[in-house]
Structure 1
């Protein structure tokens, strides 16, 4: 819990920032408060409100009842995620409510938007109080260092599996460290969520959904997730739901711990069927990677279904800050090796982002002569092939006779490396399918310009964030390879097509080899060199200041 002294410090810091001493003139105070109000409002304005619509007319009354239960589960995962992000978040929110700040309403909106008192678009800079966001979020002791964690495991090797598990919280008990399973640490919330999933399972006529919900409910109570991950791969009905602890982005200490989230969506069977053709090329895409055969992952499962869906609700890690447009799950390497992974495209979210953000960015930064080459189709396709590419390349590794994985070896660098890899490999694979005739060869330049423009949307998330860092290292690598030119007078970019294609291949090779070798030091050095904000990009970001950074979706109540 947040100690009273810490709450006091947070409030004093806020009040010092939001008011002036009595000796200052009222005019100065008013000016200061006005500027603070404008700064806070600017932070909110970076997210444009969008009313999301989904056609639910094909769903039965029972389907609607199932959805209502699952939305309740999503709300519970919201509560868990708030704790996972920072153990004292609830107390800090209460401190905002109890404060006398004239900006209380805006501060609450910002807190609820970012799930904490830190601006996720500005390297987690605090907007309330001055507490630094802990790298270990709320799943490690705030004062624990990487060295202490590693030293504990070295001294207590029997604890290694539990400490590195994605489903435990590390706590301090006196002078000892201890791993507590999620099912115990978040017992109240997970038991309530499991009950709702069991009730939803009893209502649905969809056998595959019933099996998944029951297995996932069991996993919430025993921390054994593999069976339910397998069952999730087999979902075939109209309701496509992902519920559980998945991504590790918020764990910036090691990238070990998973964070709870929920995607409640409705499948679009027609659009899903159109994209199914790409699945048959997954093995060929793996074989086509520009690395030696010994590093290619040809054992990974190839089921890899693709679902195009409309989202109707979300929870937990799915909701704060920048909105997810697609996901590729599960992350369990064993399940990926056996069954592959599923790619889920959130069509209504993608469309909203293209219209509100991507179109105005592209019209601002791409040279006039290449403007006609931009195509919404390739904004969608780059997202699809980004997700397909998450399932390609090294996954499980054998290093010096030891079985491990890319994510475990690359630690906190993994998310940034992997997101950038999926981006550039997505473009690489679209070029491959154009050579195969599955995508129109005549649209090669359309794809390249649209892909390049998309990097600027992601870089606005900040290089502290995985997708933003991944976009930045692509941009800087391509700059080094002279794959584009920048006109400082017009502040617009022009793609050099031949050079960009070569740079894409070179970057796929370099990143994939870092992963194949599990080379943590090489990953750190690569990010230090390339995952930086270029001066021209910083200037462009100022030029794009009036364009929203992302959307804030509002889903209708059922």
Structure 2
């Protein structure tokens, strides 16, 4: 999909809705010309605000805007009027070029038409006349999929920024659009959107949000009717030949080949020529887009004249070259040298994480673009003196053959995300922290960089929804001991990301084999995330014992980590395609282990904190540190020894096995899935 192409079907739909609604501007009024996001408001003629006899609530407007594929978001009812006002509107980044919704402080005809369309849908529902039963079921399933995600706004305002900064942002938005195109090729979805019926905006919205036609939400991902396309295509990635993917065990077949290292190398596409398989470097497979990204990155670097951004400029130039020659490790060097003290920007652009594809081997292209949040310096100064001690503690838990090593990683920078694109733009939820790179000398020598996305899903709507979902699962006294403030969630993420760099980490081998080779890609990914999250739980009390943080903060961090695990387990263990969900599975292992250790308890006869649901969890704070340490010893030992059988036993006990814990997992899933999960939308004003 082209993120900047105009949407003719959208304008036609709005015109039709306007013609049928009493609150619309006159039908003869022309639609405003398409304008780039953030264009000067005066460029569009203002129209008097039309009366709204049946105003939409803010949740209704934001939900219906998604269903009509409108880049429109009501931020907040700031004046308490109960009706949307011109200064309460944002325009999210989108696959279409949106009209200006506001001009000269008033709503434009485009907004009036859009509001009328939403009001009509609220009153009458989405039109279904002339559709057969199969198509009606599909469109209803699409609406259910969209309802599983609640828009969560990340808004960045560069209107008062320097001219240099605005130029940089402009070039990086173009980079993001190109990365979306590359990742669409990786996912195998290029061109699919053209098959969406023109009168079906909800399916266009699903395709944009999910980066493809397939449904992702727990309640709809297994529904065979749920697809953005009437022909319901199978889920086939673009980084392996389609023929291979007919066999569900094709990943294992590739891992068993003598040439598996070449075929499963992270920066290549597997293609079939004359019946033979070969690996093609990304720079060849996606050459036009890669060259275009390189040009935009160089242009952004050329715009930098400030001496204080020399480190950022060096990374932009190195990344631009890597898009031409696949020498990503050379770009990692200047990237790892950036930090909160030598740049105001954070950018990671290129191929990194592998969770998105069934074999968990191919690096997905993404953009994570942010401003540095200086609050991170406080925590860096607290934790930097104890990094070596943290490594020694992990080494003791891991046991032989692992030995403590000198660690040189950067403690997490806090960043305020401006935009995620490609692999890092999730349909709902997303990554709150990241430790990179995953390969190359910077990774193996412990010189990587870790970040915490401090503003991610931290809006008032998201915190309120999380508290409501949690109150359905935990007992009243336990809820009263929890904090949903950003600072507590951020600290848990800091410890998770730090733990990625400790103990047997990236590059660690057992008898010459990496974790991917020992466990297989998906299982290795889950184990690494289990190690990091268990490390976060363990280090909260460890830091309190060392006097680095207050014990009361440690208890809040531990409780917030339990909330995180409940949320991840609540989304299920497997995707619609049958692939493991690493975070869901590790959360199940953690929660099940803590229950067995008595650090968690489920009280069947007690009413949950919401006063409605019978049966609730409590945290036994006095037992939690010992239980976390025992689990850390088990998990680290498995990775240190390359003990695949031990990991499979854990997964069988807590993920795939039957019994009481599976029943409790069902309770968690049912209650957590009542609330829509946060779906991040990005508004960039410049």
Task: Give the alignment's TM-score, normalised by structure 1.
Answer: 0.85
**Which residue is 2:363 aligned to?**
258
Once residues 370 and 150 of structure 1 are traced to their aligned partners in structure 2, the CA distance between those partners, rounded to angstroms, is 46
Q: Deviations over 1:32-78 (max 9, x none)?
A: 87765554323212221123234657842202211211121111111
Asked if structure 1 preserves the Cα contact closer than 8 Å seen for 2:509 and 2:515, the reply is: no
Give yes or no for the alignment of 1:278 onto 2:402: no
Q: C-alpha distance in 2, partners of 1:114/1:407?
A: 27
Report the equivalent of 1:337.
Answer: 444
Deviation track 1:339-391 (CA, whole Å, cap 9, x = no partner) reads 43222121221423851432222222221112221023332211111111111
> In 2, Cα distance between the equivalents of 1:227 and 1:460?
40
Q: Is the 8 A contact 1:378 1:447 kept in 2?
A: yes
Measure, in 1, the Cα distance between the counterparts of 2:536 and 2:503. Answer: 12
Q: CA RMSD in A?
A: 2.7
Partner of 2:668 in structure 1?
Answer: 540
- Matches of residues 397-476 of structure 1 in structure 2 within 5 Å? 397-400=508-511, 402=512, 404-411=513-520, 412-464=522-574, 465-476=581-592
* Larger mean Cα displacement after TM superposition, 288-297 or 447-456: 288-297
Q: Which runs of 5+ in 2 are unaligned?
A: 1-127, 245-249, 575-580, 606-613
Distance 2:191 2:301 in 1: 35
The superposition leaves residues 159-188 of structure 1 with CA deviations (integer Å, 9 ceiling, x where unpaired) of 454323111101111211011000000101
Partner Cα separation in structure 1 for residue 204 and residue 403 of structure 2: 47
In structure 1, the residue corresponding to 2:426 is in which secondary structure? coil
What is residue 178 of structure 1 aligned with on the other side?
278
- Measured against aligned partners, the alpha-carbon deviations of 1:363-420 in whole angstroms (never above 9, x if no partner) come to 22221112221023332211111111111120333433x2x43244322211212222
Given that 1:201 and 1:214 are in contact with CA atoms closer than 8 Å, whether structure 2 keeps it comes out as yes
Which residue is equivalent to 2:295? 195
1:107 & 1:311 partners in 2: Cα distance? 27
Could you say which residue in structure 2 is the equivalent of 1:387? Answer: 497
Count of residues paired in the alignment: 517
Q: Identify which range, 180-189 or 267-276, moves more after superposition.
A: 267-276
The residue number in structure 2 matching 1:245 is 351
Of residues 301-310 and 213-222 in structure 1, the stretch that sits farther from structure 2 once superposed is 301-310
Tell me, what secondary structure is at the counterpart of 2:450? strand
| 8 A Cα contact 2:525 2:582, kept in partner | yes
User: Residues 433, 39 of structure 1: CA spacing in aligned structure 2 closer, same or farther, 3 A cutoff?
Assistant: same
In structure 1, how many angstroms separate the alpha carbons of the residues matched to 2:397 and 2:457? 32
Distance 1:422 1:303, change over 3 A: closer
- Tell which structure's C-alpha radius of gyration is larger: 2
Q: 2:622 aligns to what SS in structure 1? A: helix
Question: Which residue of the partner structure matches residue 328 of structure 1?
Answer: 435
Deviation at 1:121, TM superposition (A): 3.2
In the alignment, the residues of structure 1 paired with residue 252 and residue 667 of structure 2 have an alpha-carbon distance, to the nearest angstrom, of 38
Q: Which has the higher helix share?
A: 1
Q: Partner of 2:183 in structure 1?
A: 81
Taking structure 1 as reference, are residues 150 and 275 closer, same or farther at Cα in structure 2, changes over 3 Å only? closer
**Distance (whole Å) between structure 2 residues aligned to residue 94 and residue 527 of structure 1:** 41
Q: Map of 1:24-423 to 2, 5 A cutoff?
A: 37-54=139-156, 56=158, 59-85=161-187, 87=188, 89-97=189-197, 104-122=200-218, 125=222, 127-128=226-227, 129-134=231-236, 137-144=237-244, 145-150=250-255, 153-154=257-258, 159-204=259-304, 205=306, 206-235=309-338, 236-253=342-359, 255-289=360-394, 290-291=396-397, 294-296=400-402, 298-299=404-405, 301-321=407-427, 322-332=429-439, 334-352=441-459, 355-375=463-483, 376=485, 377-395=487-505, 396-400=507-511, 402=512, 404-411=513-520, 412-423=522-533
Q: Is the 8 A contact 1:49 1:554 kept in 2?
A: no
So what's the TM-score if we normalise by structure 2?
0.70
Q: What's the CA shift string for 1:509-542, capped at 9, x where partnerless?
A: 1111221122334433432332348322322332
Aligned mates of 1:124, 1:544 — CA distance in 2: 16
Q: 1:481 — aligned with what?
A: 597
Separation of aligned partners in 2, 1:29 and 1:514 = 55
Seen in structure 2, the aligned counterparts of structure 1 residues 499 and 132 have a Cα distance that, compared at 3 Å, is farther
1:248, 1:258 within 8 Å by CA — same for their partners in 2?
Answer: yes
Contact 1:483 1:499 in 2 (8 A): yes
Identify unmatched segments of 5+ residues in structure 1.
1-25
Deviation at 1:30, TM superposition (A): 9.0
Contact 2:269 2:279 in 1 (8 A): yes
Q: Is the CA contact 1:276–1:305 (under 8 Å) kept in the aligned structure 2? A: no
Distance 1:170 1:341 in 2: 28
Q: Is the 8 A contact 2:400 2:641 kept in 1?
A: no
| Mean CA deviation greater in 431-440 or 161-170 | 161-170
Match of 1:3 in 2: none
- Per-residue CA shift, 1:255-287, capped at 9, x if unaligned? 221000001101112444444421332221111
Which sits farther off after the overlay, 344-353 or 118-127? 118-127
Instruction: Report which stretch shifted further, 215-224 or 303-312.
Output: 303-312
Q: In the superposition, relative to structure 1, how do residues 303 and 150 fare at CA in structure 2: closer, same or farther (>3 Å)?
A: closer
Q: 1:374 to 1:30 in 2, by over 3 A?
A: farther
